[in-house]
Amino acid sequence: MFAKNQLDALDGRAASRDRFLATNFRDYRFIHIATHAVADLEIPQLSALILSTVDARGAAINGRVFAADLLTIRLDTELVVMSGCETALGKSVAGEGLIGLQYIMLARGARSVMSSLWAVPDRETADLMSRFYSDLLLRVPSPRQALSNAMRTLLAAGTDPGMWSAFALTTSELSD
């Protein structure tokens, strides 16, 4: 799907909070974050992505990237995918919607954010993401259409929608 020289990956112990926050996210068209997440529905700034909690030597480190930390990043990206559990959730604020991880990614410059409304299983999420990116990169120009196609394909295959339908796409643009 992507050539190796087209990817920058932080994985395993290299996926530290410090390295993540030091990334110049403005250089990327797509940002895919596959990690655990927690949503704080009372204090949305405490919602967090959970990255590596141990360093290269095995010592414990803080792996939480709080929503408040994301206020320091700048994005100029077509799409941010947060495939961790409950990344679309947040505190409901009248006139604003759900304030949390998804909201902050849009506010910092992402044109679209795909995130989950509930806990998602790994295998089914990987299948959805594979189909999504395959369509997005090879067939359709729109994240919205690629997600719709991937979901229709999974539904036609007889898979349980409860296992993959947690994902929603939110866009900051009026037409997509």
Q: In this structure, is residue 172 part of a structural domain? A: no
Residues 61 and 86 grouped into a single domain: yes
Report the alpha-carbon angle 98-103-34, nearest 5.
110
Residues 154 and 71 grouped into a single domain: no
Q: What's the pTM?
A: 0.92
Residues of the chain where predicted confidence (pLDDT) is lower than 50: 175-176
pLDDT in tens, 22-61: 999 998 999 999 999 999 999 999 999 999 999 999 999 9
The number of distinct structural domains making up the chain is 2
Q: In this structure, is residue 173 part of a structural domain? A: no
Q: Which two tokens stand for residue 162?
A: 């409860």
Residues 80 and 130 grouped into a single domain: no
* Close Cβ partners of 162 (under 8 Å, ≥ 6 residues apart): none
Q: In this structure, is residue 141 part of a structural domain? A: yes
Residues 14 and 101 grouped into a single domain: yes
Q: What is the pLDDT of residue 139?
A: 87
CB 84 within 8 A of CB 37: yes
Residues 95 and 23 grouped into a single domain: yes
Q: What is the pLDDT of residue 176?
A: 47
Residues 45 and 82 grouped into a single domain: yes
- Residues of the domain holding 136: 120-167
Residues 128 and 90 grouped into a single domain: no
